[in-house]
Structure 1
Amino acid sequence: MSLNKNNLRIAAVFVLFLLIGSQTVSAQVGWPATTKQTKPWARWWWEGSAVNKKDLTWNMESYHKAGLGGMEITPIYGVKGRENEFIQYLSPQWVDMLKYTLQEAKRLNMGIDLANATGWPFGGPWVSNEDASKELFWKNYELKGGDKLTEPVVFIQQPLVRADGVAPKITDLVEPISSNKNLQLMALDQVRFEKRIPLITLMAYDDKGKTLNLTDKVDADGKLNWTAPAGNWKLYALFQGWHGKMVERAAPGGEGYVIDHFSKPALEHYLNRFDEAFKDQNVSTIRAYFNDSYEVDDARGQSNLTPGFFEEFFKRRGYDLREHLPALFGNDDKEINARILCDYRQTISDLLLDNFTKPWHEWAKAKGALIRNQSHGSPSNILDLYAAIDIPETEGDDILRFKFATSAAHVMNKPLASSESATWLNDHFLSSLGDVKQAIDKYFIGGVNHIFYHGISYSPKDAKWPGWLFYAAVHFNQTNPFWNDFSTLNQYITNCQSFLQQGRPNNDVLVYYPLFDSFSESGKNGLLKHYDAMKPDFKGTGFELSTEEMLKKGYTFDFISDKQIWALQSNGNVITTGGNNYKTILLPDCEYIPIETFNKLMDMARLGATAIVYKNMPNDVPGYARLNERRKKLKDLLATLSFTKGSNGVQTAVTGKGRVLIAENMSALLNAAGVRRESMTDAGLQFVRRTYKTGNSYFVANQSEKSVDGWVNLSVDAASVVIFNPMTKKYGLAKSHKQTDGQTLVFLQLHPGESCILQTSPLKINAANYTYYQLTGKPVEIKGNWAVQFTEGGPTLPKTLYLNELKSWTDLAGEELKAFSGTGSYTIRFKKPKQAAMAWQLDLGKVYENAEVYLNGNKLATLIGPQYTVTILSGQLRTVNELQVKVANLMVNRIIDMDKKNIPYRIFYNTNFQSHSAGSKGPDGLFTAINWVPKLSGLVGPVTLSAIKYLKVK
């Protein structure tokens, strides 16, 4: 089903058949259909693009078997020793491999996205100096009346080479960059050649406020043919240089300069290379094109200029920036400095939206494809960038960071919000599937519903262990011992996303993104700021404080930009955007607000909406043009608001049919606005809520360290609630109680790290009950002689062991056990406990790391943690039973052994295996495990059986 159809057709989880004369309905309860889109996808690194059809098929079949729904192809640096297999990016041979991949994906019912670059950002050898990213350089001169400038108005750009590989001398490089040899080995990150760069303007300012443009008085040699009139003059000479940013982690044939993201012609020339490569080729089944985060300025200097910038500035801001260069560089009145800088940053923001994001989207749309974009990190209003694309993508581990991408998806009615998931959970080789599961749950809570692992390297079947790897952990590869259990995590994600991709988001509050407060602050590291999350630019602000408090206390919200506010509609007291409804909009203690934005808010309030203000009203407009006019309009609007004091410190101003509320206490403010919170957060639960035609759904995760076993309040009115366990795929009618205030109590049992999905219905459901359990009696430990057989892994398979006491196999005698990464199968025979019970809880105790559990030859479950328990019905136990637990540890112990024996596995150009923990940094500054001790592995226990009974909930 296409994305647009998915947006229009909401698949119902319940098929309801009304019974005549009754408020009870019969329900066909079950999981939504699984599609390739509900499954997790993965970034797929083609190292050196050294792929072949045989191994493409083997890899894709293994991904399909593991439960992945699609792959995003990103060509990347190559593998040493495989140079003869490198395929030049976008060459006919490369396109042939892409077409074969698309063909295989269709056969396997998988999706394919394609990065519009190798590595990141957009760039390559076909990017000319004219289209490459630019940087603004400047010089200042001082003259008195009657003086002439004796030195030439010339700027020589200084040479610079930064590399992630073997950095050459600048004298060893020639232009164009693509003509140099060993580009993979050098892994260039930034290159500037020594050269004279063009003058773009020369302005003169006297001490009485007079401004002169002297640009046309500078000859080809840089001589200024001008005598200063009476007075004291300061001259500002601006030059357009080359930022020099190179494509990071570029694949063969992809090495080159990064494009100028503020230039539409630069983007068009860049994309023309794809048009040429794909001409007369059928690549129409590419679902989406992808762009990694901006990351142009993680280098020396900034990409902060584009040809024609001053003309664009005048068109968009209404005045000539060249007349205010002292303020741009912080040398005028403090307030003027802030306003000019704000306008400069807003113009850069506009150009990134209008000259890169939107035309790239149109280019893909013309090919019948979507775009996925990581807008964060840009010197721009990232909410507007996210709003202009099809699938906003986030990354990291902060829910408030996720909300920039997911809010744009919600506000603009986009069905999917994706995430680059599990990039760095721990240092190399240390992350378990259980760690990944907890990280994924956090993305779901933040509104993500389309998981992309980061990631999987294409690796030939015959590659030596550990195969081809990428430097960013986690290593989701077939060589990782957890690969056999990977499908369990993928099925869990699929089960969750089958709900999360349906319906619509159900959040109550729109939070204004106070970007102009930040635009108006001086920058410490250059003219531009780059926006990613709350920190550092909004740290300690009302924006951060109010949203952190709402998140903690269970209020639901999305961020919204000025442009998005202008498109809002008010339907009585409901605020609507893109088909989604909100109860109020919050101004989070911001100082500046555009008059258009505030006017829109007042218009909606007069029609019946409620606007709320945390702590302080905005008191000024941003920017410089028509300042007095805009200030007066804001002052006049503010004067129409007459506040009266109410309870809990909330002040109210009635305007038309609506209200404006202001308070310093967020909870009091939201309560006064009629916004209910989800009090489950008091018990350590986190959630995301969606709405359907037939009710609501909640994804609920217990990310605390305490179990939840009791009643939990839902803020919605529900006659019935069904619980779905996405890990076990069990479901049933929950014990729930409809309250008189329109809220609902539901009984939940969630251990730390566990999650569930709740589906509510406004009508009574007649379905099988969900089973609640309660432990009774003391645990019975399963003791005896454990046989431990090592079934797969390496470097060698240890011999079978017999243990009377469970312990990590790394604590046993023998170096081969300490070096082993793989699977150990534990088997024991035990008698059925004498105590009568309707069921038993098998608790494996400590497990490092994943466990497949078999009883009498029948598989019970695959457990990935943090809890390692499974329920056994009494009838499944015999008088004498055989328990088998297959445990896969991490790949780290074998890596430790390889580092100690100096066996190479970092065989990649531009390897950049970064160290992320103490003791893992080698003499070269990169990762090594040589100083690590083997990590605990296997079944440690104790393994116990506890009698359980059905819990009758009152």
Structure 2
Amino acid sequence: MNKNQGAAGLTVVALLTAGMVWAAEAGTPSLEELAAGFATPTGEAKPWVYWWFQGGYGDPGGMARDIAAMKEKGIGGVMHMQTINASGLPLPKEPRMLSPDWDAWFGQMLRIAREGGMTLSASILDGWAHGGWWVGKEDGAKQLVHAEIQIDGPATFAEPLPQPLTRLDIYRDVVVVAYREKTRCPPSPLEVTANNVAAGYCDEENWPAAHAADGDPESYWRTQKPCAPGAPALLEFRYARPVRFAAAFVAGMPEAGPAEAEIQVGDDGKTFRPVARFTLQAGERKRVAFAPVETTRVRLAVFRGHVPDLKLAEFSPLREGDEPVMRPGIKWWDFKSANRAWWVWPPNPYEALEEEYAGPDVSDLAASDVLDLTPHLRPDGRLDWQAPAGRWTVLRFGWTPLAEPARMGSGGYEVDILSTKGANLMMDSVAKRMRALSVAHAGGAPIFFHTDSWEIGAGCKGLQPTWTEDFRRQFQKRRGYDLLPYLPAMARRVVDGRETTNRFLRDYRDTVADLLADYYGHLQRRARELSGGVNSESGYGSYPHPQMDGLKVFGRSDRPMAEFWHPFGQYSDNFLTYVDVMRTTASGTRIYGNRFVQAETLTYHPWAGLFAVPSQYRRTLHEAWARGLNQAVIHKYTHQPFEEKPGTLDYDIFNRHFSWWPLSDGFLAYLGRCQHLLQQGEFVADAAYFVGEGASRFVPGKDYLRPSLPAGYDYDGINAEVLLTRASVKDGRLVLPNGPSYRYLVLCDPQCSTMEATTLRGIRKLVEQGLTLVGGRPTRTPGLAAVAEAELQLKTDADALWGDAAAEQGDRRVGEGRVVWGSGMRDILAADGVQPDVETTAIQATRAGLAGAQWVWHASDGDNPPPCERLFRATVEIPAGRQVLDARVSMTADNGFVFTLNDSEICRGDNFHHVVDARCSENLLRPGRNVLHVRAVNGGEAPNPAGLIGRLVITLDNGQQIECPTDPASWQSSADGDRWTPARSVGPLGCAPWGPIDTRRAGPARLAWIHRRAADTDIYFLANPLDQPLQVTVTLRAAANAVRLFDPLDGSVRDLPERTVSADGRAAVPLQFEPEQALFVVLGNSPGKSGGGRNFPPLEAAAEIPGPWKVTFDASWLEPLPASAAINDTKVSLDFTRLEDWSRHAEAGVKGYSGVATYRTTFDAPDLPVEQQTFLDLGTVKEMARVVLNGRDLGVTWCAPWRVRVPGGLLKERGNDLVISVANTWQNRLCADHELPEGERLTRVGHQLHAEAAKRGLQPAGLLGPVRLLCEQ
């Protein structure tokens, strides 16, 4: 490991991979050693940053200043990324990646990072897409495409076949197949387009025009905007050759579809003439006849729809004698065929992949009847074939580039990510060059090679790669049969019935998943050979891609990375639902034996970070740490080539040109302290949830686990590869090498209803060795290979595990282990005597309560709703001119809920017995309309009662109270976020089956938490997610002779003398949290005894420090200069007789000031005992402050409570010198500069942020006080 440390200064990072004993490297430090590292974080504990180069431009001086600033403030690693210039400011030159000019600055960057002592990861991408300009059209990601034609036999056919969709002028044939049609079906168009298609988050088309031509009445084309006579919705069919049509079949979705429309024809694609005009009732299906006409193009023009988004199920031009095809095909075909990513739709990907249409089975053809016509295809696309009698459909399959651009790069495409050839192209083109530059400029210092988030589809309407050049051979090798007879399923045909077709599509997706994992595995092998390894956002999980095994690809990264955003809108919850991206990454890290869980951290709106401060990020960070993050890579720090401020930025959370950067070390030390403890030992969990082997192999968020896991217990996700190759059983627990252990293996429902026979055989062996398995028996195997044999083996092992009886519930001994099914995890844990790892009780001082609220649910679900997610919304109006003084909410749901106000999460709960009380920040509420939104989950395995009940109470400055209880009059509900109807009243507070739930003021407080164990030391991270103080007793499943509180805000460590240990060995510890505060409780064995006293002694004011204050501003940012100010070089001093908000100051220059100002005063202190803990409390600070008392730096306070500890003996009775440096954001200076001509502005920044700041107005700034000395009593 040390042989490369000759590259002085650049951290050498070991490859912490499966089979390596990283725990020995981490060691098992004592409580005292933990405390020492906690006070001053070093090495791997320090956060990293994305070091972003706009336009690929790096200035040597600017890079050196960047690295020096990062090092000074506590950043430990940088992740190089580059994109086209999106800063909004011009750069002198933008060298193309891998050009000689780029080589020069990249080599300098390596040298500067090495000399600055930074761990370095370098992106091998141009932009954030998986590619670059060196990826040519033929090397890019590929899609299987097809075109078809009908031939009526017997006939001699000797014509060119229509060529399938072709992008970038590249098309390569794969196979040509034919099958005999069963009916007089109409011809399929070569191309279907529309001028109006509903688009999703990244312009993905979830309801594309092609859905109107697939013969499936359950799929449909949906429009983005309403149609009108002057702006009709146009759906156009283009045919490979002229066809004589005499009618068209039109079908709208129920209660939807066209109301008034016209059928048009034309041949040139520009001029169309009408052949029939008609009206249609909502949901009606109609055959519209017209005079026969021969054409290559038919268009439906819809002038008016029954609903604004139209929803047309089918449009089918017909020849004389044709009958429309109207049969439900394969449900969710777009996703099951791996052609599409989920992005934000459908609601539950796991259920969708197991769902199929009810009713009679259908089959368009038999696999045995498929003819291979590939030998009859000439190189020029001409088919020579003697067609037998009947109507034949000929399908020409080939591949064309997906044409996904290398987004934000200098050109090129996403590489073919399904081939090791693509991996070699990336490594040979980029990584080898980077390694050579490291040798030439940085002494051969090791580099991690980075690949960013899997976002293929974002640039091509959600489409996914479905082919690579040797895909057919790979499919045969991995699945055991040739795919050719089943390829019509990739053209939306049902082959041998839905069961067989779904099995084939599953095999197809699995082959894509295997090739994708192989790609990342090959990247990892090559990276290790070259240098330090790879860190990848490879299993990108905010969108559970149907063709990806997220855990497996994370296992092919040396430092797996997640991604999470600071919430700012409706899509933030994507990272926490059916896929918990952070937990998926953490699970993938742990189960494959790695140590560091990285994440692209706190990505925000492109420029919102400039107006934000670290205190706003606490809750988001705490949630990520609780779900496994232990090495944040902050997104992002843009390289600053110039000294103009705020400078070049885009998506920045901070950089050295941020106004508060001089005080950023407080925030960065907080991250380092938390990560120091979160990297110790092993993660402690009770359950490993087997995520199954279907598509979307990601780990669900806790609210979405089935069977659900009660509060107070933790879990990992696990996949088949780890179960079969890494898992063993010891003392009844599932054990992984260099990883955690679990008491239960839980089968996720519905994912595990289908299971490979070999996987169940492996699970059976683990159970026989002593493991407890929880979940119902799998009922079928996936795939088409040797179905009968696989089903028999599955049944044999299932019978051995669950018995051959059809009992709905059971607890059965199998070998040394047991199988439990039909019972919820809460009952199983209770029966086994497994107490919660973290159990809390708390008393909320102020609450809204549920008086007047009703239990509500979605009306169409009836009295016994299925396990599902439902959405609820309401609005409240704040009168103009009124201010909100206070806002409280009380809420619960059966089984769980998340409540948001104006897109910001307020609270969540997972047990209807306990009402969650929370305070809503007044800043979230605004005059006018405010939106309340609830996502509620009904858990369980079968239909059961469901309900939501809550009440919001808002107090205004005139004493008026606005109440919003849940009831049908105020609240609406939806199953999909699309259709909203009034919520249904299930009953009043106290009704059955819930009873009087709101009679107690005490109940569990929801803390974000995680537990790690290092030898005999237990480390609990506990965070209050509420914007209000919380007094709580936490009962922990650990006990020791020393219980200490580690406070990451200031690095202090102290004993917690108040605690009790129960008979079952759990420690109950009273704790006290400030709003959104996080604490560590560490239990270990230490010599000596804890003293007496209280865990949180009350604070009492010992003295107030009123001033007066000499306040010194940086003249560079003070415009106009105050006439009365004392000016000394670059400093301007003003006398403040009292503390006041800069934005309300009489001087215009102070109103518009941004940056650091220093307050100085002297004061006398009362005579306080040296041993009495004393704090200097600053009251309110906008936005952060550094305190120096009598020449000693007491640190930075960057969030409430705005206070610092005063060491004993530091205070003097007379003449204490107090210096407080306070920083705000750039908001006020940008706002003031907006009023100045551009040439007179003090600030320079792109994105029209001066105008944006002006919209926001001046913000409170400075030291607002009161400043007091507080003493513990």
1:390 aligned partner: 558
- How has the CA–CA distance of structure 1 residues 794 and 147 changed in structure 2, closer, same or farther, with 3 Å as cutoff? farther
- How has the CA–CA distance of structure 1 residues 416 and 770 changed in structure 2, closer, same or farther, with 3 Å as cutoff? farther
2:388 aligned partner: 229
* Residue 174 of structure 2 corresponds to residue 200 of structure 1: yes
1:11 aligned partner: 27
Number of positions where the alignment pairs a residue of Structure 1 with one of Structure 2: 861
Residue type of the alignment partner of 1:624: L
Structure 2's unaligned 5+ residue stretches are: 1-11, 183-364, 566-574, 841-1003, 1123-1132
* Residue 1083 of structure 2 corresponds to residue 760 of structure 1: yes
Query: Does the 8 A contact of 1:662 with 1:669 survive in 2?
Result: no
2:500 aligned partner: 336
Residue type of the alignment partner of 2:53: W
1:546 to 702, 705, 709: 705
1:306 to 468, 471, 481: 468
* Residue 207 of structure 2 corresponds to residue 47 of structure 1: no
**Range moving further from structure 2, 375-384 or 308-317:** 375-384
* Residue 845 of structure 2 corresponds to residue 662 of structure 1: no
1:846 aligned partner: 1180
Residue type of the alignment partner of 1:849: E
- How has the CA–CA distance of structure 1 residues 571 and 947 changed in structure 2, closer, same or farther, with 3 Å as cutoff? closer
* Residue 659 of structure 2 corresponds to residue 481 of structure 1: yes
Residue type of the alignment partner of 2:821: I
Alpha-carbon distance between aligned partners in 2 of 1:809 and 1:908, rounded to the nearest angstrom:
22
Residue type of the alignment partner of 2:69: S
SS in 2 for 1:728: coil
1:30 to 29, 36, 40: 36
SS in 2 for 1:307: coil
2:65 to 58, 69, 85: 58
TM-score, reference length from structure 2: 0.63
Alpha-carbon distance between aligned partners in 1 of 2:512 and 2:717, rounded to the nearest angstrom:
21
**Range moving further from structure 2, 767-776 or 569-578:** 767-776
- How has the CA–CA distance of structure 1 residues 780 and 665 changed in structure 2, closer, same or farther, with 3 Å as cutoff? farther
Alpha-carbon distance between aligned partners in 1 of 2:405 and 2:1098, rounded to the nearest angstrom:
61
Alpha-carbon distance between aligned partners in 1 of 2:72 and 2:811, rounded to the nearest angstrom:
59
Query: Does the 8 A contact of 2:1055 with 2:1090 survive in 1?
Result: yes
- How has the CA–CA distance of structure 1 residues 784 and 36 changed in structure 2, closer, same or farther, with 3 Å as cutoff? closer
Identity level (%): 23
2:613 to 432, 436, 442: 432
Residue type of the alignment partner of 2:595: P
* Residue 106 of structure 2 corresponds to residue 98 of structure 1: yes
Alpha-carbon distance between aligned partners in 2 of 1:825 and 1:564, rounded to the nearest angstrom:
57
- How has the CA–CA distance of structure 1 residues 243 and 466 changed in structure 2, closer, same or farther, with 3 Å as cutoff? same
1:507 aligned partner: 685
1:811 aligned partner: 1144
- How has the CA–CA distance of structure 1 residues 572 and 28 changed in structure 2, closer, same or farther, with 3 Å as cutoff? closer
SS in 2 for 1:75: strand
- How has the CA–CA distance of structure 1 residues 764 and 338 changed in structure 2, closer, same or farther, with 3 Å as cutoff? farther
SS in 2 for 1:555: coil
Deviation at 1:772, TM superposition (A): 4.1
Query: Does the 8 A contact of 1:90 with 1:277 survive in 2?
Result: no
Query: Does the 8 A contact of 1:134 with 1:260 survive in 2?
Result: yes
1:894 aligned partner: 1229
Residue type of the alignment partner of 2:1194: L
Deviation at 1:448, TM superposition (A): 1.4
2:130 to 122, 126, 138: 122
Deviation at 1:285, TM superposition (A): 1.6
Residue type of the alignment partner of 2:1013: T
- How has the CA–CA distance of structure 1 residues 908 and 868 changed in structure 2, closer, same or farther, with 3 Å as cutoff? closer
* Residue 416 of structure 2 corresponds to residue 260 of structure 1: yes
- How has the CA–CA distance of structure 1 residues 812 and 906 changed in structure 2, closer, same or farther, with 3 Å as cutoff? closer
Query: Does the 8 A contact of 1:896 with 1:929 survive in 2?
Result: yes
* Residue 720 of structure 2 corresponds to residue 562 of structure 1: yes
Residue type of the alignment partner of 2:712: G
2:1022 aligned partner: 700
Q: Considering only CA atoms, is the larger Rg found in Structure 1 or Structure 2?
A: 2
Deviation at 1:436, TM superposition (A): 3.3
* Residue 511 of structure 2 corresponds to residue 347 of structure 1: yes
Query: Does the 8 A contact of 1:293 with 1:373 survive in 2?
Result: yes
User: 1:397-425 deviations in whole A, cap 9, x for unaligned?
Assistant: 55632011110111111011111111117
Residue type of the alignment partner of 2:549: N
* Residue 1007 of structure 2 corresponds to residue 685 of structure 1: yes
* Residue 1074 of structure 2 corresponds to residue 751 of structure 1: yes
**1:75-224 correspondence to structure 2 within 5 Å:** 75-78=82-85, 84-147=92-155, 152-155=160-163, 157=165, 192-193=167-168, 195=169, 197-206=171-180, 207=182, 209=366, 210-224=369-383
- How has the CA–CA distance of structure 1 residues 245 and 311 changed in structure 2, closer, same or farther, with 3 Å as cutoff? same
Deviation at 1:858, TM superposition (A): 3.8
Query: Does the 8 A contact of 2:164 with 2:397 survive in 1?
Result: no
Query: Does the 8 A contact of 2:693 with 2:720 survive in 1?
Result: no
Alpha-carbon distance between aligned partners in 1 of 2:1243 and 2:419, rounded to the nearest angstrom:
38
Q: CA RMSD in A?
A: 3.5
Residue type of the alignment partner of 1:844: L
Alpha-carbon distance between aligned partners in 2 of 1:868 and 1:758, rounded to the nearest angstrom:
22
Alpha-carbon distance between aligned partners in 2 of 1:889 and 1:81, rounded to the nearest angstrom:
24
Residue type of the alignment partner of 1:937: A
- How has the CA–CA distance of structure 1 residues 670 and 404 changed in structure 2, closer, same or farther, with 3 Å as cutoff? same
Alpha-carbon distance between aligned partners in 1 of 2:812 and 2:474, rounded to the nearest angstrom:
41
Kindly indicate which of the two structures has a greater share of residues assigned to helix: 1
Deviation at 1:151, TM superposition (A): 6.1
- How has the CA–CA distance of structure 1 residues 873 and 200 changed in structure 2, closer, same or farther, with 3 Å as cutoff? closer
Deviation at 1:761, TM superposition (A): 2.1
SS in 2 for 1:408: helix
2:1204 to 856, 864, 870: 870
SS in 1 for 2:122: strand
Alpha-carbon distance between aligned partners in 2 of 1:262 and 1:48, rounded to the nearest angstrom:
29
Structure 1's unaligned 5+ residue stretches are: 17-26, 159-191, 520-529, 536-542, 950-954
1:175 aligned partner: none
* Residue 949 of structure 2 corresponds to residue 790 of structure 1: no
Query: Does the 8 A contact of 1:781 with 1:942 survive in 2?
Result: yes
Query: Does the 8 A contact of 1:780 with 1:946 survive in 2?
Result: yes
2:582 aligned partner: 402
* Residue 811 of structure 2 corresponds to residue 652 of structure 1: yes
- How has the CA–CA distance of structure 1 residues 201 and 388 changed in structure 2, closer, same or farther, with 3 Å as cutoff? same
**Range moving further from structure 2, 104-113 or 566-575:** 104-113
**Range moving further from structure 2, 331-340 or 410-419:** 331-340
- How has the CA–CA distance of structure 1 residues 51 and 260 changed in structure 2, closer, same or farther, with 3 Å as cutoff? same
Residue type of the alignment partner of 2:1060: H
- How has the CA–CA distance of structure 1 residues 342 and 267 changed in structure 2, closer, same or farther, with 3 Å as cutoff? same
1:291 aligned partner: 451
2:487 aligned partner: 325
1:586 to 711, 733, 746: 746
1:525 aligned partner: none
Deviation at 1:644, TM superposition (A): 13
Query: Does the 8 A contact of 1:680 with 1:686 survive in 2?
Result: no
Alpha-carbon distance between aligned partners in 2 of 1:714 and 1:302, rounded to the nearest angstrom:
46
- How has the CA–CA distance of structure 1 residues 761 and 826 changed in structure 2, closer, same or farther, with 3 Å as cutoff? same
- How has the CA–CA distance of structure 1 residues 54 and 785 changed in structure 2, closer, same or farther, with 3 Å as cutoff? closer
2:1049 aligned partner: 727
Alpha-carbon distance between aligned partners in 1 of 2:1134 and 2:1243, rounded to the nearest angstrom:
35
User: 1:353-387 deviations in whole A, cap 9, x for unaligned?
Assistant: 11x10111111111131110102335411100001
Query: Does the 8 A contact of 2:1152 with 2:1231 survive in 1?
Result: yes
Deviation at 1:41, TM superposition (A): 1.1
User: 1:736-780 deviations in whole A, cap 9, x for unaligned?
Assistant: 433321222334333223223333225665578898442255786
Query: Does the 8 A contact of 2:407 with 2:459 survive in 1?
Result: no
Query: Does the 8 A contact of 2:1099 with 2:1271 survive in 1?
Result: yes
SS in 1 for 2:399: strand
Query: Does the 8 A contact of 2:1233 with 2:1243 survive in 1?
Result: no
Deviation at 1:154, TM superposition (A): 3.0
Residue type of the alignment partner of 2:1144: D
Residue type of the alignment partner of 2:651: A
Deviation at 1:239, TM superposition (A): 2.4
